Chain A
Amino acid sequence: EIVLTQSPGTLSLSPGEKATLSCRASQSVSSNYLAWYQQKPGQPPRLLISGASIRATGIPDRFSGSGSETDFTLTIRRLEPEDFAVYYCQQYGISPLMFTFGQGTKLEIK
């Protein structure tokens, strides 16, 4: 089973700054089957990125994903007030037994 470790646990930034969130896998993630989600309080998660770098429908282009194998990054350039939330990475693939989530990174306003 692949374990996803996100860092940092909490990231404190100001609107307008750039956020860099990390997701590290304990083994290589096949075919870059890595997704990122955003969750705000009281809401379900929202898919931001799949395939490590493909933005989901309607996601602003200030969100970008990168990385491969064991190291993945979600970058949010020029933070907007609505971007402060918890972000999760997730692995998926040829079996649902591969569905694992990272523990989350909380992006908070500094």
Chain B
Amino acid sequence: EMQLLESGGGLVQSGGSLRLSCAVSGFSLSDYAMSWVRQSPGKGLIWVSSIGGGYGTHYSESVKGRFTVSRDHSENMVYLQMSSLRAEDTAIYYCVKDETPYNGIWDAFDIWGRGTKVIVSS
């Protein structure tokens, strides 16, 4: 069974840093692009960052320059290093997997972790 398990969330002061981790199981991480999606309390879904199988990375404008996504195939892990955190970064962060092996299309998300909550206090 394909699973994603996030960890690393918590309460942090504005300007601080956190590293989120996503443990991958049940599939070959190297075959798939992975992304992070966040959801602020009571709000909708917002794409944050993606990393391809070839390690190409992409970021939304709101986090570019502050967040860094990475992956470790040997450890079956995906990471999101977050720095210069702001109150508006408060959200549940979901690690998500593309539906199909990467083929040039960044696909729909078929597997979601349960999320890890980040609270940034001002």
**Interface assignment of A21: CB less than 8 Å from any CB of chain B:** no
Closest Cβ of chain B: how far from A52's Cβ, in Å?
10
Interface size on B, residues (CB 8 A): 21
Closest Cβ of chain A: how far from B93's Cβ, in Å?
11
**CB atoms of B44 and A44 under 8 A apart:** no
How many A-B contacts if CB must be within 8 Å? Answer: 66
**Interface assignment of B35: CB less than 8 Å from any CB of chain A:** yes
With A45-B45, A56-B99 as contacts: A93 and B106 at CB distance below 8 Å: yes
Chain A residues packing against B (C-beta within 8 Å): 33, 35, 37, 43-47, 50-51, 56-57, 88, 90, 92-104
**Interface assignment of B54: CB less than 8 Å from any CB of chain A:** no
Q: Which of B109, B110, B112 has the most CB of A within 10 A?
A: B109
14 contacts between A and B (CB under 8 A): A45-B45, A45-B94, A47-B108, A50-B99, A50-B108, A51-B108, A90-B108, A93-B105, A94-B104, A96-B33, A99-B35, A101-B44, A104-B44, A104-B45
